[in-house]
């Protein structure tokens, strides 16, 4: 049976008095690729910030391996946070450092490893994303798709249990986006990591998503959670059908619409 890794219980997220989403309830299982979906401004990035412990819930809780990041001491919180790997949409790499130096950074900061050991690990992580020959290149000397992969190599430097991606394929052409999807699947399988992704890309959602939550900006709560392919096949909510078919369908084929 699938084992729960992250649990979101009755979560309400707000900025001051402005509620972004309320009453969110879902589970992210170990080893799953979990997609956060929903229209612009519904609160996907805000949810990601709650999952990684940057934002504090207005109500409810987020449990990581059964623990709330807000109800433990500072040392335990730091230890838990080290088990996360995060890649942001923009500014993922430091432009003044080579790819190898970028990947080495978390290893230098958070481990007692010797320089030669760090160098071995850097080459290994870059090899995992197909960039070992580019270790000494600057970020400006490689393509956008390669930069995303290098950022991924840095995010996996500390062997994270959970990898978070905010719009990983933003700005990539369809082929590079597809290659990134393949890489994410490979990494999930080789690292055994749980992966949480915010994305609008339908092709990615169906290609790699095992489970998902759909946030609605109108009602300010989740409308559905489940395997995106199942939602497309059987969820009758028009908002979900519109989103998953780019507005082409209001209800699953075969269901009756008025
Ligand atoms: N730091 C902040 N302070 C106040 N309001 C914020 C802050 N960050 C986001 N918001 C507001 O919260 C709401 C949700 O924003 P968020 O960025 O989480 O949505 P999103 O679904 O990720 O959007 P998009 O798809 O456009 O990236 C928006 O109304 C946004 O203006």
Which pLDDT score is estimated for 224?
A: 96
Residue 93: what pLDDT? 87
- Minimum-distance ligand 1 atom for the alpha carbon of 48: 18
Nearest CA to ligand 1 atom 16: 43
Q: What per-residue confidence (pLDDT) applies to 183? A: 87
Q: Is 48 in the pocket of ligand 1 (CB under 6 A)?
A: no
Indicate if ligand 1 lies below 6 Å from the C-beta of 110.
no
Q: What is the mean pLDDT of each run of 10 residues along the chain (258 residues)?
A: 89 97 97 94 94 95 93 89 79 87 92 95 92 95 88 89 88 84 89 92 93 95 96 93 83 54
pLDDT at 258: 37
Is this model's pTM higher than 0.80 or not?
yes
- Is the C-beta atom of 46 inside 6 A of ligand 1? yes
CATH no., domain 1-83+161-171+199-252: 3.40.50.300
Exposed, middle or buried, 20 (CB in 10 Å: 0-12/13-18/19+)?
buried
Q: Which atom of ligand 1 is least distant from the CA of 47?
A: 18
């Amino acid at each position: 049976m699938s084992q729960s890794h992250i649990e979101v219980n009755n979560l309400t997220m707000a900025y001051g008095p402005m509620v972004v989403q309320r009453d969110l309830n879902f589970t992210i299982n170990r080893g799953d690729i979990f997609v956060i979906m929903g229209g612009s401004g519904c609160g996907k990035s805000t949810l990601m910030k709650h999952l990684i412990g940057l934002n504090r819930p207005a109500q409810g809780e987020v449990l990581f391996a059964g623990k709330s990041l807000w109800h433990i001491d500072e040392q335990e919180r730091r230890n838990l946070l080290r088990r996360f790997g995060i890649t942001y949409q923009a500014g993922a790499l430091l432009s003044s450092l080579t790819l190898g130096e970028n990947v080495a950074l978390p290893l230098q900061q958070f481990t007692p490893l010797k320089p030669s050991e760090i160098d071995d690990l850097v080459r290994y992580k870059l090899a995992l994303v197909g960039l070992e020959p580019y270790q000494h290149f600057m970020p400006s000397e490689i393509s956008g798709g390669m930069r995303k992969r290098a950022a991924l190599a840095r995010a996996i430097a500390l062997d994270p249990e959970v990898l978070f991606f905010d719009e990983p394929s933003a700005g990539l052409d369809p082929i590079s986006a597809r290659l990134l999807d393949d890489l994410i699947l490979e990494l999930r399988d080789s690292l055994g990591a749980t992966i949480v992704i915010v994305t609008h890309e339908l092709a990615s959602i169906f290609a790699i998503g095992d489970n998902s939550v759909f946030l609605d900006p109108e009602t300010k709560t989740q409308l559905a959670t489940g395997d995106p392919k199942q939602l497309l096949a059987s969820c009758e909510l028009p908002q979900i059908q519109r989103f998953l078919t780019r507005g082409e369908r209001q209800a699953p084929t075969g269901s009756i619409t008025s």
